[in-house]
Structures are given as C-alpha cells and as structure tokens.
Structure 1
Amino acid sequence: MRSLVGGVLLSTTLVAPATAEPRVFSVNDRSDQYRVEVRFPEPPEDPHQLAQAFFTVRDSKTDEVLQQLQTPAGNVPVDRHGKVDSWLLGPQSLLYFDDFNFDGHQDLAIRNGSHPDAIYTPAFDVYLQDPQKTQWVLNPALTNLAKEDSKGMFSVSPLDGVLLSQTDRDCCWSRATHWKMRGDELVLLYSSTEEKIQPTEPGENTSMPSGYTRRTTGELKDGQWREQACLEGPEKEDPVILAGTLDGKSPVELWYQVQGAVIIGEVRFTEAGDGEPIKLLGFGDDADDDLISLHEYADDGGQTGTWRISRENVEPYLFTGTWISDVNGDHRQLAVRLHDEERELDVAKIDDVDADQRSGHYRMRQDALERDADLDLQILPDRDANGKEVAEFTVTLKDGVTKHHIVPMETDNLIIVREPQAAGRNGPYHIQLVKGFAVIGYNAEPESPDGLAGVYLKQR
C-alpha cells in the first residue's frame, strides 16, 4: 500500500490487527535523496508503546544500501485502527531529516525513547552525515541537546545558521538557547533564562513579593561569554473592565488589574459626585475562591470602603458582591452588581510608574490597626557599584517611630530592606511602587502597631 502523509510518500506493509507479525514502513526524505525502510520485528499491541526498530537507509535513485541503524525504543507510526498516521517523519516523529550543522548535507535524528520526566516527550539520537562516506555518525553533543529540549527536539533556523533549544522545568524556570556547530562540537551563542522568584518565607533575610522574574541573558562576543542578570516584574494580568450598579441604583464603572501580589484599580460614580475616579488597591493573597477585595482610598490616604466581588460561574457571568463602608461609625453594606464592559482603558493607568514620579510623599491614614504613617521617598541620582539605583526614604508612624534607610533598589519599582538594617521583631520588609501607591510588606504580616506594613497613597 502507498499513501501520502504530510507531503511525504509512504509505503507500508499493513497486516491484520494481529500484532505478532512484523511491521514494515518505507519513507523518502523531503529532498528525495534517501529512502529509509523501517522494520518493527515485534510491534506492540498498543501503538502508543515504544518498540525496537531497524532502519535501512538507501539511495533513492540507485536503491543502494548506504547504512543500517537501529533504536531500542521507537514509536510505531500507526493509530489504534492500524492506519498510518503522521508520526513517521518530522521533528517530533520517528525519523527527522534536516541539516543540523549547516554543511549542505542531510543529517538524521531517530527516536530513542522518551524524556525521563515526560513520557509524551520524545528523545532522539542525532546523527551527522559524513559526506565522504554518505553515512551517518552519532553526535553526542546534538543528542544531549535534543534530550534537554522540552519539545524533544531542538529547532533549526537555516536563515541564521543556528539551532534553537527551549528547556522548561515545572512552572517557574525556562531557558532559551542558540547554538552553532563547529566541527563536531556545539558552541553556545546566546541564552536567556527566566526564573520566577517565589515569595519570601518567614525567617528569611529578605522580603520578596510574588510576581517577579529573574532574567539572566548571556551572549558570546569576541570570543568571550558575557552574562547579565536583572529582576523584572511584577507580572501583569489583563485588566478587568466592568460597569453596573451599587445598591441597585447608583451607576458605577470599575476596573482592576492584578500586578503580582497587588491589585490596582479605580471606581467611578458616573451620575454622582464630581465624576472623578476613586483609587482602589487590593492583594492577591486575600483572594478566596475568586473573591476579590478592593479597598478604596480617599485623597488623604484613608481607607473609605471595600469592594468584595466575585464572578458567577453561570451565564451571563456577572460580578456580584458587597460594598462595605470602612468609615468609623458607618456600618453600611450595599449590594454590588457588575458586568463586563467593552470600553477602552487609558493604558497610562496600568503602565509602570514613571521614573520621575516615584520620589515624593506618601501617606497612610487610619488603617485596620488605626495607624497613621508617612513615607518620604527619594530616588538618588547616583547608582551604586553594581549599577543599581539607590533609594533614600523615611517612614514615620504617628507614635513617633521613625525608620530611615538608604538602600539599593532591586528594580525600578521594588526596594528591599534586609537585616541588619531591618533588625527587630518585624524583620525584613519591602516597598513596592505601583501607580499612585507605595505598598510596604513583610515576610509575614506583623500584628504589632509599630509595624510599617500598609498602603501609602502618593500625595505629591
């Protein structure tokens, strides 16, 4: 039987579903220079299982046998009904022809098992063609590179003359690399590694909020490997834009965006007041079963109310919840009913804080612990020996407690105060700058009234 799968001419000896008989396939490479006969002496009953296979490579024009190869763990390229599928020739299949070292000759990769940590990810033996003998020689460097790739096989970029590999580990680490063959050896040209930094646990000598990534890039220049690391973040989700009513009668527009550990937003009463938006801020760690709490802040930095909303899981997927007054003596709780709204949001509202807007005076008034505090922050003009910006700040609580520090910034919106500067029972803390706010947080939220943690509204 002969068939055409993915533009590749196939011939196969098909047998009845009884799988005790050997199975034979034949395929031409895309250049039509070579024909490979594949024989599975004992094909498994389940085509998803791997089995030993033997390969005979022939000159497609003369039918001359050029070489014989084998693999102990190749995939049988048929579906459960015994029909030939597309898993015979290609970068994720049993066979893969390409010019891996860019010398103008077809090289060959043969599947040889699966990745040890991902059974659905193939592993390959990679062979380079010896043009003098028209045979293929196993290349350990390329075989190892294929094993490291999360897809099972690296990519080939003929325009650039480079090999591209992507390695992922769990949810929080990935590396993209560019390679070039020089003789039989691989040379690393470029790498970019991203590692999501986990929030700091209590007791550690730092205070890292969630949502940040450390990116390390390296490049080969003039024969020297140069590497640079930087912190990026916080990671931002798409903004949620809503409209609806408060207490069933007051029209409102509300939006929010998750930025790492912090949620920023605004609410505007469209038919009441002066129409100016009220700033909102919440914390992702406070979310419970998709319930989001957004605290609203008056111009003086005091907290005036809390919007507690969650999305319903049936159409039309409304956001419902409660607005709760945070003003002393005011016990109002009003129903919230919102829906998705198609309107444009000014991107300046969710951009990173402008460099020239970070310095200034920030204020917190009458929070849940009845604390008043002021933060005066100045980003100094000179950088430290490592090229980092330097922040000088003073935090003053109403009872007279004052903290003054000069520390390098981790990135343009994050300051971390470590021990011994942060000595005391509250321990290390951080200051995260977002649009209109400075948020101070500890490894573990302190309950003491002399703690600095809280939301400080930008005043000037």
Structure 2
Amino acid sequence: MRSLVGSVLLSTALSASAMAEPRAFSVNDRSGQYLVDVLFPEPPEDPHQLAQAFITVRDSKTLEVLQQLQTPAGNVPVDRNGKVGNWLLGPQSLLYFDDFNFDGRQDLAIRNGNDPDASYKPTFDVYLQDPQKTQWILNPALTNLAKEDSKGMFSFSPLDGILLSQTDRGCCWSRDTHWKMRGDELVLLYSSTEEQIQPTEPGENTSMPGGYTLRTTGELKEGQWHEQSRLEGPEKEDPVILSGTLDAKTPVELWYQAQGAVIIGEVRYVQADNSEPIKLLGIREDVDDDLISLHEYAGDGAQTGTWRISRENVEPYFFTGTWTSDAKGDDNQRAVLLHDEERELEADKIDDVDADQRSGHYRMRQDALGHDADLDLKILPDRDANGKEVAEFTVITKDSVTEHHIVPMDTDNLIIVREPQASEKNGPYHIQLVKGFAVIGYNAVPDSQDGLAGVYLKLR
C-alpha cells in the first residue's frame, strides 16, 4: 500500500531534538474517515528502539473520540535526526488500516513489538471493526496469522477474499497458505510446503543425494482436507557457458550445469578432426564448492581426462585450472584459461531425461578407483500401490558381483535402494539419472566396495 507520509503532521509544540520529551503524531487513514493521534510518552533516545504508545482514533469530520488503544512496543516514526520517516502508516508500520475480513469496513493492525527469534520482523495486534459500532475488537486468529508470516504481516487478495501468508524457516523450509474468514475465525483453504531434503547422514537406512525438495500440498474440497506429498528435483542451477584454451593454444568450448549433487556438461575441441562434443560429468563436493571437477567420457564409458577449474574473484573473472589425462601411464597436464561466452545452449541438453530414454544399458569403465561395471535398467510398465513407477535393474562388476533389485522410484530420475533390501556389505545406495548417464552413489562409504558406485555412460 502506498505510504501516506505526506499526511503525517508532527506536533509543532514539541522540539525535534528533545527525544526525552513526549512525542505526538497525527495521521488520517487511507479512506479519510478517521484521524489517528499517536502519543509516545517516553520515546527512546534511539528511534530504532520500540516504546509504549497510546493511540486515539477519532471521526475525521466531528473529531469525536471513537476508541483509545495502546501498544507496549511501537516504532517511533522518525529517523536518527528527529525527522518524520515513513513508518507511521502502512503494512510494516506502526498503524495499518485495511479491510482484512472483506466486510467493507476499515480494520486496524497495530505494531506490538518484534519477533523474539527474528528482531528484524515486526509483530502486530490485528483488530476488526465491530459491525454494530465504530470500534475495533482484537481478533486472535488474525493476530496469530500475522505472527506466523515471515514478513510480519499477511497479505490478501480483495478480488477473491483470500488471505495469503508465507512462512520461512531458514534456508530450507517454506510454506504458502491461503485462508478465508468465516465470522471471526480463519479457515485454511490451501497450503504448499517446500522442504529441501538434506543428503542422508551416514548410518541411516537410506541414501538420499543432495538437491531434492519435498513438496506437500493440501486443499480443502467439499469440507474435507486432502493432502499429498511428492519429491521433486534435482534443483538445477543456471548453466555456465565458457570458451578459451588449453596451454594457450588449443581452443575449446565448454559448458556445465549443476543438477543437485551431479554436474553435467560437454566440451568441444574446436580444431579437432571430429569436433563432436565430449560428455562431461562431475560430482559436487561439499569440501570446496568453488572448485569444479568434470570428467570426460569416451563412447565406451571410460574416463579420458579431468577438468579442474574455478572462477577467479577479480575482474575479468576468468576460469582457470588444469586438464589432466586419465589414460594409464599418461601424466599429461595442461593449463586451462576460460571466460564466459555469450552463446545460446540448446535446451534439450539440460532437460530432464525423457521418460522413454531411461531404460537401457549403462557402462562404467576404469574410473579413478579402477572400477568396471555394467548396469541394465528397465522402467516397468506398471506402478506400485502408491502410484510410483517401478525400476528393475541389474549391476554386474568386473569381479562378477551381481546386484538385482526391483524397487519403486522416488522420482522419475531417482532410485533408492534402502535397508533391508540393500545388501549388508554394500549398504543403502541410490541411482540418479541425468542426460546420458546413471550415477550410483552411497550415503556413506560401505564396508565392502564392490565397485557399484560411479558414473555409468548410457550406451543404448
């Protein structure tokens, strides 16, 4: 709502510099029906501190006193120099007039302090205008709703008579809710909760990778509350598109995109006889988020080279690092110098895996730990009793260790093998599907690694 600072009149009888003396302010509400006098008997020396305030609401035409209210902790609407600021009237100010219950009358919210757990967030008492007389009655339901909102005051949509509130808890949990007033009570119509699921801690009976969100939605239908949850992800960051050189002479073009814990990409050696892009894939390490490690993969699934790059923190913000050969007996290493490139990236390169492209044969050949393994994956046509897709897969390592499971999929790109289905020596693990790859990972290092974990290139 547009602030009505221009209508604020500072009492001329009081000196602006005498902060210890009482301070008085007057303001008209937005409708022009009411004149409100505010008195701070003992204003603080620091105007950012809150103080007790007495509020008198008058009829703007007759100046008749309609009601007197007070707050134990209101904000003084002046700056450090004693000048009147814009914190007297409005959604985050001392006074907020509006029609909160959509009955055509002006209601009133009065600031009553700060949230004890978040000092930057104001709290309010919310009063509804009595339909029988021009006075205001404290409404506990709306006061609690304002307290829950992360901004300190809920918002609303007058066209459909809905109150909207958003609650955030730190970085990783938020909820949007829609409410409707019925009499003096609130009725919940809709809610949507997002919770970022943290990677599984070692010792748990599952193996959740990073970057996934649990979304829970609820809706009131025909008097009944219906709620459902689903896992979504992985969260995708904006792609980084680069070009530059190896050893200041070999031109290359490279891009990558973080998709949760997995980073996909491609590199193209511009002057090579076969200038087709080479697939890249890396695993994000929590140890150093600034360092990006991407492995090149040949057509048979073998690693051919590793890019380790990081962005400099001074202009022109080059990406520097090294490229290292992964071929046995080859210690070739080259210096990398890349810069941001303004070019378009084909959308299908970073799209989710097409549903009909997930089943097939995947291969891992001689990764950094010397693992070889083959993965055959099939998404079955029928769903389980909970409506989830079902995956059947077999992993066979070079040591003839075989894992075969039929498990429901957590999302259309994530399979988790939990205890007790996971073998005792391997423990829980997950298979994350991205464009052209399947990545098998553990929530903790298993007691006996039989070479299941790693990056599998899709061959067919």
Fold equivalence (TM over 0.5): yes
Amino acid across the alignment from 1:306: T
Q: How far does the alpha carbon of each residue in 1:272-294 deviate from its partner, in whole angstroms, 9 at most, with x for none?
A: 13110000001111662611110
Q: Counterpart of 1:276?
A: 276
Tell me, what secondary structure is at the counterpart of 1:19?
coil
Q: CA RMSD in A?
A: 1.3
2:168 alignment counterpart: 168
TM-aligned CA deviation for residue 247 of structure 1: 1.8
Aligned 8 A contact 1:445 1:453 in 2: no
1:332 matched residue in structure 2: 332
Rounded Cα–Cα distance in structure 2 between residues aligned with 1:60 and 1:415 = 67
Question: Can you list the C-alpha shifts for 1:150-172, whole angstroms capped at 9, x where unaligned?
Answer: 00000021112101000000111
Aligned-partner residue type, residue 405 of structure 1: H
User: Are 1:286 and 1:293, in contact at CA under 8 Å, matched by a contact in 2?
Assistant: no
Residues 189-214 of structure 1, C-alpha deviation per residue, up to 9 Å, x if partnerless?
00000000000011000000000000
Matched residue of 2:119: which SS?
strand
Q: Is the 8 A contact 1:196 1:212 kept in 2?
A: yes
Q: Is the 8 A contact 1:214 1:229 kept in 2?
A: yes
Distance 2:160 2:237 in 1: 34
Percent identical among aligned pairs is: 82
Q: Please name the residue that 1:252 is paired with.
A: 252
In structure 1, what is the Cα distance between the partners aligned to 2:286 and 2:213?
22
1:23-38 equivalences in 2 (<5 Å): 23-38=23-38
Deviation at 1:120, TM superposition (A): 1.1
Residue 6 of structure 1: CA displacement?
A: 3.8
Evaluate the alpha carbon distance shift between residue 287 and residue 336 of structure 1 in structure 2; reply closer, same or farther with a 3 A threshold. farther
Q: For the residues of structure 1 that align with 2:160 and 2:419, how far apart are their CA atoms?
A: 48
The DSSP-based 3-state class of the residue aligned with 2:147 is helix
Counterpart CA distance in 1 for 2:90 and 2:364 is 61
1:4-43 maps to which residues of 2 (within 5 A)? Answer: 6=4, 8-13=6-11, 14-43=14-43
* Structure 1 match to 2:75: 75
Q: Is the 8 A contact 2:377 2:394 kept in 1?
A: yes
Aligned-partner SS, 1:348: helix
Q: CA shift at 1:425, angstroms?
A: 2.5
Structure 1 CA distance for aligned equivalents of residues 18 and 58 of structure 2: 29
User: Residues of 2 paired with 1:321 and 1:390: CA distance?
Assistant: 42
What is the CA distance between 1:447 and its match in structure 2? 7.4
The superposition leaves residues 328-372 of structure 1 with CA deviations (integer Å, 9 ceiling, x where unpaired) of 011100111100000000011001111111111100001122121
Task: Say which SS state the counterpart of residue 406 (structure 1) adopts.
Answer: strand
Partner residue, 1:126:
126
User: Shift of residue 18 of structure 1?
Assistant: 2.2
| Counterpart in the other structure of 1:385 | 385
Residue matched to 1:372? 372
Q: Which residue of 2 aligns with 1:296?
A: 296
Find the aligned partners of 1:445 and 1:338 in 2 and give their Cα distance.
35
Separation in 1 of the partners of 2:247 and 2:160?
62
> In the alignment, what sits opposite 2:55?
55
SS in 1 for 2:220: strand
1 CA distance for matches of 2:217 and 2:390? Answer: 23
**Residue in 1 aligned with 2:428?**
428
Correspondence list, 1:206-355, <5 A: 206-285=206-285, 288=288, 290-355=290-355
Whether the aligned pair in 2 keeps the contact of 1:8 and 1:27 (CA below 8 Å) is no
**Residue pair 1:8, 1:28 contacting (<8 A) in 2 also:** no
Cα distance in 2 for residues equivalent to 1:380 and 1:191: 33
Q: Report 1:84-103 matches (<5 A).
A: 84-103=84-103
Residue 267 of structure 1 aligns to a residue in which SS?
strand
Kept in 1, the 8 Å contact 2:373–2:396? The answer is: yes
| Farther-moved stretch of structure 1 (121-130 vs 154-163) | 154-163
Distance in 1 of aligned mates of 2:347 and 2:269: 20
User: Which 5+ residue runs of structure 1 have no aligned equivalent?
Assistant: none
Query: 2:196 maps to which residue?
Result: 196
- Does the 8 Å CA contact 2:50/2:113 hold for their aligned counterparts? yes
- Structure 1 residue 9 displacement after superposition: 1.0
Aligned-partner Cα distance in 1 for 2:184–2:62: 29
How far residue 8 of structure 1 moved from its aligned partner, in angstroms, is 4.8
Query: Number of aligned pairs?
Result: 457
Q: Is the 8 A contact 2:425 2:447 kept in 1?
A: no
Distance in structure 2 (CA, Å) of the matches to 1:295 and 1:286: 18
Q: 1:446·1:453 contact (CA, 8 Å) conserved in 2?
A: no
Instruction: Answer with 354-363 or 277-286: which moved more.
Output: 277-286
The residue number in structure 2 matching 1:64 is 64
Question: Does residue 205 of structure 1 match 2:205?
Answer: yes
Measured in 2, the distance between the counterparts of 1:103 and 1:180 equals 12
What CA distance in whole angstroms lies between the structure 2 residues aligned with 1:7 and 1:55?
Answer: 17
The structure-2 alpha-carbon separation of the partners of 1:311 and 1:147, relative to structure 1 and needing over 3 Å to count, comes to: same
**Which 5+ residue runs of structure 2 have no aligned equivalent?**
none
Per-residue deviation at 1:238?
A: 0.5
Amino acid at match of 2:305: G
Q: CA 1:192–1:280 in structure 2 vs 1: closer, same or farther (change >3 Å)?
A: same
TM-score of the pair, normalised by structure 1: 0.97
Q: CA deviation at 1:131?
A: 2.3
Counterpart contact for 1:295–1:307, Cα < 8 Å: yes
